[in-house]
Structure 1
Amino acid sequence: MSKDDLVLLDFWVSPFSLRVKIALEEKGLSYVAREEDIFGGKSDLLLKSNPIYEKVPVLLHNGKPIVESANIVYYIDETWASPRLLPACAYGRSRARFWADFIDKKVFDAGSSIWKSKGEELESAKKEFIDVLKKLEGAMGGKDYFGGDEFGFVDIVLIGLVAWFDAYEKCGGFKIEEECPKIGSWIKKCKKRESVAKILPNPQQVCEFVGMLRKGHGIE
């Protein structure tokens, strides 16, 4: 079995799977994406590979499972050195890990609260989501990317979540580009990258998927 025998247990619209695929593309690695039926019945391989959380993504490297998406991206960067995704200095890496953790704890949950809500709860959810994005704008400062002038680890952690942003806008009746222009500009810049453009799903399909979730939750 070769060093680069890689299988990704995947779900097409999972923002966490998307970030792993973008990291793999950035490294120029060949991999097989194995789609999981996360609603109808998870595979024995997924349950065996991630028995604690029983969820995607899982990266199998020579049969050995690596779980949790940010951890997987970190593993990819450690295992395949070029191009570097994390900063070279210890301080830069610690800062990157901090903001990646912030994104994981705040962005998806805040966005999910938008499509799960209506009325006053929806307005509160929108406010929280926009506040989170504004904090990320502050973290970016005057640079093009979170790591500075180069697309890197924090950008990858966030850009997978961007796949759902159109759905949040549609559900909430707002535009991220108007509320957070720096994030809007960053999104446009990232989407021009081959690795991102190749991986992010069609926004309309994501909106349809979120619409299905809303109906399942009795919101629509």
Structure 2
Amino acid sequence: MSASTVTLFGHWICPFSVRVEFALAQRGIEYTIVDVPPRAVRPKGFVVPEEFIAHSPKLEVPMVKIDGEYLADSIPILEWLEEKFADSSLLPQGDDAQAIVRDRVEWLNKNVYRPMIGVYYGTDAALIQESSVAFMKAMDTIDEWLQTSPWLAGDTPTLTEAIMAGVYTRLDGLRRLGLTGELPASVQQHIERCTHLVGWEKVQWSEEQTNDFVGRFLKYREIQNAAKN
């Protein structure tokens, strides 16, 4: 849809990379991917591209290059895409509606992602359970949002759906890593709607990827717990 050249430095296992890839695909923006696993699960001996080292301040994914310009960190990238590709926006019209989307993006980033990450990086059963409780509490708030609209911030998919794509892709894996609690029916229905979006086709996980995700973080727990003893 655009003559711009877009490159995503990221990896399927990183929920922050998934956000960006979902947004690119949902908006019909053509892109290429340079595979860079997150540092915590980066295979031993993996050679990090020099271009990534030169332009990613924290050496973490995602990073995007558009026509020779670089930007790292998923939420700034999502906003940058809005500037660069205004004709395929994931923001609604109107300042008030856009403010709601941005507020909810920040809320999801804090209240869903933190406990989610606490589940799969967790090495202590009590802390994993605490993260599960916080995660499900956040789902209750999302349930309230979904009582008034089919999507998280209105009648059409927005940046909020891009944020949650990084969560929904790994739910089965999170269960296997200790996530407990029942998702509200409205959230389950929202997940189902998301699976029919164009962006979902690019980021959905296979059973093999879910197994890989679970295996990597079980190994991570094993290493971390061994180091404590």
User: Fold conserved (TM > 0.5)?
Assistant: yes
Match of 2:26 in 1: 26
Match of 1:161 in 2: 167
Structure 1 gaps, min length 5: none
- Which one-letter code corresponds to 2:7 in the other structure? V
- Asked if structure 2 preserves the Cα contact closer than 8 Å seen for 1:9 and 1:33, the reply is yes
- Deviations, residues 123-157 of structure 1 (Å, cap 9, x unaligned): 22211110011122223332110121111111111
The yes-or-no answer on 1:200 pairing with 2:200 is no
Match of 1:17 in 2: 17
Match of 1:127 in 2: 133
* Alpha-carbon separation, structure 1, partners of 2:65 and 2:184: 37
* TM-score, normalisation: structure 2: 0.85
* Alpha-carbon separation, structure 2, partners of 1:197 and 1:93: 26
Match of 1:189 in 2: 193
Identity of aligned residues (%): 19
* Alpha-carbon separation, structure 2, partners of 1:45 and 1:108: 28
Matches for 1:140-151 after TM superposition, within 5 Å:
140-151=146-157
RMSD between aligned residues: 2.1
Q: 1:81 to 1:173 in 2, by over 3 A?
A: closer
Structure 2 gaps, min length 5: none
What is the SS of the residue equivalent to 2:142? helix
What is the SS of the residue equivalent to 1:217? helix
Deviation of 1:208 after TM superposition, in Å, equals 2.7
What is the SS of the residue equivalent to 1:66? strand
What is the SS of the residue equivalent to 2:91? coil
What is the SS of the residue equivalent to 2:60? coil
* Alpha-carbon separation, structure 2, partners of 1:214 and 1:179: 24
Deviation of 1:100 after TM superposition, in Å, equals 0.6
Match of 1:102 in 2: 107
Deviation of 1:111 after TM superposition, in Å, equals 1.2
What is the SS of the residue equivalent to 1:8? strand
